[in-house]
Amino acid sequence: MDVLVTLDAMDRWTSSGGGSVGLVPTMGFLHDGHLSLVRRARGENDRVLVSIFVNPTQFGPSEDFEDYPRDTDRDCALLLAEGADAVFIPSVEDIYPAGFATSVTVSGPLTERLCGASRPTHFAGVTTVVARLFGVTRPDRAYFGQKDAQQLAVIRRMTADLALPVEVVGCPIVREPDGLAMSSRNVYLSNDERAQALTLRESLLLAQRRVTAGIRDASALRDEIVGLVARQALLRLDYVEFVHGETLDPVDTLSGQVLLALAAFVGRTRLIDNATLQVDE
Ligand code: AMP
C-alpha cells in the first residue's frame, strides 16, 4: 500500500496507474464503519484510495478539532489489511496552501437545517474540502456513509450542481453490537455516557415500531422521542426531525420513505444518528 504524504506523490499515483479509482475520504481514527466503505470501494474499482485529513474548516471555534482522535499508524495497518491501494495523508498546507481563497457552499435549507442550525460553518468546510480532494485525487467514485445523512445529501447536491465527474456512493450505517452507530467520537464517552447514548438508537427503533403500528403524525412521534431522551440525565437533544431523505424538507405526515435524523450531546460529545423509516401506504 502506498502512503502518500505530499501533493506531488498523490499526483504521481493518480497519473501512473490505470483503471477506475474509488476514493474514501475520512478524518482517520478508523473503525469498521470506515472500513465498510473501503470494502465497498474495493469491490467496485480497480484501485482504492483512502484519504485521512482532519479538516480544520469543518470544526466550529468551540468544537473538538484539537482533541479529535488521531492514530495514523493504526489506520494504515487497518487499511493495509483491507487491501487499500493507497492512503493519502495531506498536511493542512497541502489542502489549504498559501493564497487559497475559495469556499464551496451549498446554500439554502440543505445546509441550514438539522446539523447546519447548530453548526453554521460546518457544511461549507465539508464541501470545500471534498471539492478540493476530488480535484487533487481525481476519483471515479467517492464513498460516503449514510451515518452522516445530511453530509451525503449536501455532497450529492454539490457534485450534481458543479457537474463534477465523480459518482457519489452512499453506504449503510455500521453499528456496534449493541446498536450504537460507530463513530470516531465514541472514544470520548464514559461508561455511563455510552450506556445513555444507546437511547438514540432506541429512539429510531421506537419510531419504526410506531410507524409499523400505524402512527403517521410526525409531531406526536417527535414529542415521544423528546420525552424518551429527556429521561436520560446525560443527554441533551440538539434536534430530532422527520425529513425527506434527499431534500431534507420537513415531513408532517409520514408516508413512503422518511429520514428520521437526530443529534444529541452526550456529556460534551455530540453524536448523530438516523434511520430511514419505511412507511406503508
Ligand atoms: P469521518 O472520518 O467521521 O469524517 O467519516 C468518514 C466517512 O465514513 C464518512 O463518509 C462517514 O459518513 C463514514 N462513516 C462514519 N461512521 C460510519 C458508520 N458508523 N457507518 C458507515 N459509515 C460511517
Choose the residue to mutate in 23, 26, 32, 34 for probing ligand 1, maximizing ligand atoms within 8 Å of C-beta.
34
Q: Is residue 281 part of a domain?
A: no
Number of Cβ atoms within 10 Å of the Cβ of 167: 14
Q: Is the CB of 116 under 6 A from ligand 1?
A: no
Question: By alpha-carbon position, which residue is closest to atom 7 of ligand 1?
Answer: 26
Q: Is residue 179 part of a domain?
A: no
Cα(255)–Cα(280) distance, rounded to whole angstroms?
7
Looking at the structure, do residues 140 and 202 belong to the same domain, yes or no? no
CATH number for the domain spanning 188: value is 3.30.1300.10
Picking from 138, 171, 204, the residue at the C-terminal end of a domain is: 171
Looking at the structure, do residues 59 and 196 belong to the same domain, yes or no? no
In the three-class reduction of DSSP (H, G, I as helix; E, B as strand; rest coil), residue 277 is classed as strand
Atom of ligand 1 nearest to the CA of 34: 8
In this prediction, residue 18 carries a pLDDT of 87
Closest CA to 173 of 261, 247, 43, 55: 261
Cα(12)–Cα(14) distance, rounded to whole angstroms?
5
Convert the pLDDT of each residue in 222-265 to its tens digit.
Answer: 999 999 999 999 999 999 999 999 999 999 999 999 999 999 99
CATH number for the domain spanning 39: value is 3.40.50.620
Cα(169)–Cα(222) distance, rounded to whole angstroms?
30
Looking at the structure, do residues 158 and 200 belong to the same domain, yes or no? no
178 Cα: distance to centroid of ligand 1 (angstroms): 18
In this prediction, residue 280 carries a pLDDT of 85
Below-50 pLDDT ranges, the chain: none
In this prediction, residue 235 carries a pLDDT of 98
281 Cα: distance to centroid of ligand 1 (angstroms): 32
Number of Cβ atoms within 10 Å of the Cβ of 248: 24
What is the reported pTM?
0.98
How many structural domains is the chain composed of?
2
32 Cα: distance to centroid of ligand 1 (angstroms): 9
Bridge partner residues of 167 (DSSP): 141
Catalytic residues: 34
Picking from 122, 147, 171, the residue at the C-terminal end of a domain is: 171
Question: How big is the CA angle at 105 (ends 185 and 258), to the nearest 5 degrees?
Answer: 60
Instruction: Look up residue 159 and give its three cell numbers.
Output: 457534485
In this prediction, residue 211 carries a pLDDT of 97
Q: Is residue 279 part of a domain?
A: no
The 21-26 sheet, strands edge to edge: 2-4, 86-88, 47-52, 21-26, 141-145, 167-171
Looking at the structure, do residues 81 and 160 belong to the same domain, yes or no? yes
Q: Is the CB of 170 under 6 A from ligand 1?
A: no
Q: Is residue 176 part of a domain?
A: no
Question: How big is the CA angle at 4 (ends 187 and 41), to the nearest 5 degrees?
Answer: 65
Question: By alpha-carbon position, which residue is closest to atom 14 of ligand 1?
Answer: 145
Q: Is the CB of 26 under 6 A from ligand 1?
A: yes
In the three-class reduction of DSSP (H, G, I as helix; E, B as strand; rest coil), residue 47 is classed as strand
Picking from 150, 171, 192, the residue at the C-terminal end of a domain is: 171
Looking at the structure, do residues 50 and 29 belong to the same domain, yes or no? yes
Q: Is the CB of 145 under 6 A from ligand 1?
A: yes
Bridge partner residues of 181 (DSSP): 175
Choose the residue to mutate in 68, 74, 148 for probing ligand 1, maximizing ligand atoms within 8 Å of C-beta.
148
Cα(91)–Cα(143) distance, rounded to whole angstroms?
22
Convert the pLDDT of each residue in 165-189 to its tens digit.
Answer: 999 999 999 999 999 999 999 999 9
Q: Is residue 66 part of a domain?
A: yes
In the three-class reduction of DSSP (H, G, I as helix; E, B as strand; rest coil), residue 221 is classed as helix
Give the single-character DSSP code of 232.
S
Contact yes or no for 146/28 (Cβ under 8 A): no
Looking at the structure, do residues 167 and 82 belong to the same domain, yes or no? yes
Q: Is residue 43 part of a domain?
A: yes
User: Which residue blocks in the chain are alpha helix, DSSP H?
Assistant: 7-16, 32-44, 72-82, 92-95, 109-112, 115-118, 122-137, 149-161, 191-212, 218-230
Cα(95)–Cα(91) distance, rounded to whole angstroms?
7
- Domain range for residue 83? 2-171
